[in-house]
Amino acid sequence: MLDLLPRRWSRTVGRLSRLNSSRPDKPLPLNSEHVSGAQLFASRQDYIASLPNGAICAEVGVQHGNFSAYILETAKPDKLHLIDRSLSQFNVKERFAGQPNVVFHEGQSADILRSFPDAYFDWVYIDAGHRYKAVRADATIAARKTKPSGLLIFNDYIIWSHLEGFEYGVVRTVNEMCTNERWQMVAFCLSQEMYCDVALARV
């Protein structure tokens, strides 16, 4: 019986592999042209530290506000818009009360992004809903609201969340934008758990 287990496991993996290869929603492949200008960073913190100070930026998906604090301290933005369904759950408003360059927005991220003028942001950091529909909506609207020279930065460029146990839509969204919408990857930021960040700029 035990001798049969490796063969059964191999057949199961093979079937899953064939099924995955034929999925219509599988992420598009990137070509060398899509990543030719990309720099590798050890962490997302290192990448944020490399950006020019004085930006108008947004963090879409704030949670505890720890990364918001890093952005404020390191990137020193002129304006940081914090967007989340709830900024009271983790006392984010209290944490950044009195910061004149912080603006709070509560609600659905896509709806809030839609309210900004076109070409308003220098960069937008996208880290809200991680399923494809949510990521795609945030990215599509954020692209319109970002300056021609601006950046879209995506947290969690990974297909499957091994910590949460469900599929993320970040890779699919990013690869679609690179292959179909004239965006190019300019940064790839490593993460200890491989929930990596990528930054896109217009070609």
Query: Is 7 a member of any domain?
Result: no
Query: Is 2 a member of any domain?
Result: no
Whole-angstrom distance, CA of residue 174 vs CA of residue 179: 9
Query: Is 123 a member of any domain?
Result: yes
- Residue 89 has what pLDDT? 87
Domain residues for the domain of 170 are 31-202
Q: How many domains does the chain have?
A: 1
Query: Are 61 and 127 spatial neighbours (Cβ–Cβ below 8 Å)?
Result: yes
**CATH number of the domain to which 60 belongs:** 3.40.50.150
User: Which pLDDT tens digit goes with each residue over 3-30?
Assistant: 555 666 566 555 545 545 557 789 999 9
Helical ranges in 22-85 per DSSP H: 32-35, 44-50, 66-74
Query: Is 14 a member of any domain?
Result: no
Average pLDDT of the chain, as a whole number: 93
- Residue 19 has what pLDDT? 44
- Residue 56 has what pLDDT? 98
123 forms bridges with which residues in the sheet? 57, 151
> Which residue has 């962490």 as its token pair?
43
Beta strand pairing status for 160-161 and 39-41?
Answer: unpaired
Query: Is 73 a member of any domain?
Result: yes
User: Which pLDDT tens digit goes with each residue over 92-115?
Assistant: 999 999 999 999 999 999 999 999
Whole-angstrom distance, CA of residue 5 vs CA of residue 79: 58
Query: Is 23 a member of any domain?
Result: no
User: Which pLDDT tens digit goes with each residue over 33-89?
Assistant: 999 999 999 999 999 999 999 999 999 999 999 999 999 999 999 999 999 999 988
- Residue 16 has what pLDDT? 46
- Mean of pLDDT values over 145-163: 98
pLDDT exceeds cutoff 80 at 145:
yes
Query: Is 6 a member of any domain?
Result: no
Query: Is 57 a member of any domain?
Result: yes
- Residue 182 has what pLDDT? 96
